[in-house]
Amino acid sequence: QVQLVQSGAEVKKPGASVKVSCGTSGYIFTIHSIHWVRQAPGQRLEWMGWISAGNGNTKYSQKFQGRVTFTRDKSASTAYMELSSLRSEDTAVYYCARAAGMVALDFWGQGTLVTVSS
């Protein structure tokens, strides 16, 4: 069965970077893109962008452009999201999700809580 398993919770200081992993199984990794979505406490879902697991092409939300980097390791069927220059407003649960089609995120990771605090 399709599974996306994310790395554990992180606590970071303002100005630091965080890298979240998203390990996948149960399907051919290179066929689907991986999207990243975050949700601040009590807030709405916020789309961050996607990476093509096949060719590594990326698309970043304008809000995060320049501060976020998506990568993937085909041999490990794993995608990564790195967010730099962290500030308190980046405290959120970060999700990875598999795209079945346009805007159709059919399988999600369990979420990774990133807390930014001095």
Partner 1 sequence: QSALTQPPSASGSPGQSVTISCTGTSSDVGGYNYVSWYQQHPGKAPKLMIYEVTERPSGVPDRFSGSKSGNTASLTVSGLQAEDEADYYCSSYAGSNIGDVFGTGTKVTVL
| Closer Cβ to partner 1, 105 or 116, answer by number | 105
Nearer to partner 1, 90 or 109 (CB): 109
Q: Calculate the alpha carbon distances from 92 to 46, 52, 99, 117 in Å.
A: 10, 24, 21, 12
Q: Is 11 in the site for partner 1 (CB under 8 A)?
A: no
Binding residues among 53-72 for partner 1 as defined by CB under 8 A: 59-62
**Residue whose entry in the numeric block shows the structure tokens 């452009």:** 65
Task: Let me know: does 109 contact 7? Beta carbons within 8 Å.
Answer: no
Find residue 59's DSSP bridge partners. Answer: 50
Residue 105 found at the interface with partner 1 (CB under 8 A):
yes
Rule CB under 8 A: is residue 37 a binding residue for partner 1?
yes
User: Does 13 contact partner 1 by CB under 8 A?
Assistant: no
CB of 53 to partner 1, least distance (A): 17
Is 49 a residue that touches partner 1 (CB under 8 A)? yes
User: What are the helix (H) ranges across 1-118?
Assistant: none
Question: For residue 88, what are the contacts with CB-CB under 8 A and spacing of at least 6?
Answer: 14, 116, 117
Question: Contact positions toward partner 1, by CB under 8 A?
Answer: 35, 37, 44-47, 49-50, 59-62, 95, 97, 100-106, 108-111
